[in-house]
Each structure stands twice: as C-alpha cells, then as structure tokens.
C-alpha cells in the first residue's frame, strides 16, 4: 500500500466515528421505560383513545386540545366508544395519570424528548415534594 500509514490512520478514525453507537453503549445497560399506571387509571380501564393510538399520537391530541380550547373554546372531546372527555391536561389527563415522574417522564426520558407542556402547566405533586 502507498502512504499506508496515513490511509490506515484515516480509515481507523472513520471507523471509530462511524461505529459510535456501538461502542458508546458498551457496558451501559439500557434502562427500559416503565410507565406506571396509577390506580385511578387502572380503574378507568380505557384512555381517550386506544392504548396503541395514544402511544403514537398523544402529543398530537394534546396539541389539538390546546388549540381547540384556547383558540376555539371547544371543551368536549368525544373519544373511544363515544365517551366524552374534558379537554384539559391538568383536569382530565392527570386525573388518571397522576404522576408525571412515573408516567410521562418514563418514556420521554427514554427517547430524549422534553415536551414544553410544563412551561405553562403545573406539575402535580412532585413539584411540591421537591420543595
């Protein structure tokens, strides 16, 4: 090989950079999210929509709820099986999913999402406990 030293050095740098995800995680056991359903949620049995739908779409529902309530003064959402819900994060969602730490944050931290819900809304309980 001509200029082998330089070429191999370049190859090695490239390989180290490109295999970043493989060696970065070495020895780190991935903590999988464990969103806990509060007893209130277990009693209610169903969410606004199906579980699968909520897992993928909840942020869009919340975004739409905000716009509907704040801009259009709609308050009622008709969900799964025609059940009516009050479009409110604090007064409806958090009634069942009582803990941000044990429910919301579990998955959000896992996929590195920091939603700005809490820039306006109050966090339940934990905020008080923190103080």
Residues that bind another protein (CB under 8 A): 1-4, 7, 10-11, 14-15, 18-22, 24-25, 28, 30-33, 52, 55-57, 59-60, 62-63, 107, 110-116
Supply the DSSP symbol for 100. Answer: I
Closest distance to another protein from the beta carbon of 63 (Å): 4
Q: Which helix (H) or strand (E) holds 86?
A: strand 84-86
* Closer residue to another protein, CB minimum distance, 118 or 125: 118
**Cα separation, 124 vs 94, whole angstroms:** 8
Q: Which helix (H) or strand (E) holds 78?
A: strand 76-78
CB atoms within 10 A of CB 68: 15
* Closer residue to another protein, CB minimum distance, 63 or 86: 63
Contact partners, residue 67, CB within 8 Å, separation at least 6:
none
Closest distance to another protein from the beta carbon of 73 (Å): 21
Residue with tokens 């009634």: 95
Closest distance to another protein from the beta carbon of 130 (Å): 21
* Closer residue to another protein, CB minimum distance, 96 or 117: 117
* Closer residue to another protein, CB minimum distance, 109 or 125: 109
Closest distance to another protein from the beta carbon of 37 (Å): 15
């Amino acid at each position: 090989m001509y200029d082998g030293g330089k070429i191999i050095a370049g190859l090695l740098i490239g390989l180290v950079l490109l295999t970043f995800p493989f060696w970065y995680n070495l020895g780190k056991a991935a903590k999988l999210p464990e969103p806990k359903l509060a007893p209130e949620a277990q009693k209610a049995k169903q969410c606004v929509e199906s579980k699968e739908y909520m897992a993928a779409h909840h942020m869009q529902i919340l975004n739409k709820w905000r716009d509907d309530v704040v801009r259009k003064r709609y308050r009622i959402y008709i969900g799964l099986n025609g059940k009516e819900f009050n479009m409110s994060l604090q007064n409806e969602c958090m009634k069942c999913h009582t803990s941000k730490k044990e429910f919301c944050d579990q998955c959000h931290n896992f996929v590195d999402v920091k939603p700005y819900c809490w820039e306006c809304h109050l966090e339940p309980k934990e905020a008080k406990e923190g103080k």
